[in-house]
Amino acid sequence: MQERMGNPALVLPAAMQALNALSKVPVETGLSPKLLELVNLRASQINGCSVCVDGHPRIAKKLGETDERLFAIGAWRDSPYFSDAERAALALTEAVTRVSDRADPVPDDVWDEATRHYDGRSLAALVIAIANINVWNRLNIATRQIAGAWKP
């Protein structure tokens, strides 16, 4: 496969600045960088973004994430490696990423479980993080960015 064009965020530096600034908000709000990498990886798996599926485990490993958790992220519901708060974040990630899969994209039970583990600011930051990785996935997929070219 060959990329169609350079990543639009690289073509338009103002877009890169905006997306990078947005990506800092969840960490500045106090969300764990390791949690955010799990969210990034799970959304990227769902979206089929090879660039992010390749790159985000690398970032997670640098943050101290374990192989077991990275290998099991696609089966987080049936894996013993994740806390209840992480499970709530991953369920919310899946719901927000798969918005067209059901009439009520983010069901109350998913939202309510997230509110049990995250306060208003943290939940807002989590939703922003999920939205941001979905933007990156769509930019990469639309332009057929090549996995391995980005080495975080």
Arithmetic mean of pLDDT, 89-94: 98
Query: pTM of this prediction?
Result: 0.95
Q: How confident is the model at residue 31, as a pLDDT?
A: 98
d(CA 98, CA 23): 20
Using only C-alpha atoms, what is the Rg of the chain? 15
Mean predicted confidence (pLDDT) in 59-65: 98
Is residue 150 scored above 80 in pLDDT? Answer: no
How many angstroms separate the CA atoms of 94 and 41, rounded? 11
**For residue 87, what pLDDT is reported?**
98
By residue count, the chain amounts to 152
CA pair distance 138, 152, nearest whole angstrom: 19
Output the pLDDT for position 13. Answer: 95
pLDDT, tens digit, 9 for 90 and up, residues 3-23: 999 899 999 999 999 999 999
Look up residue 116 and give its two tokens. 């049990």
Show the domains of the chain with their CATH numbers: 12-141 (1.20.1290.10)
pLDDT of the residue at 105? 93
Q: State the DSSP code for 144.
A: T
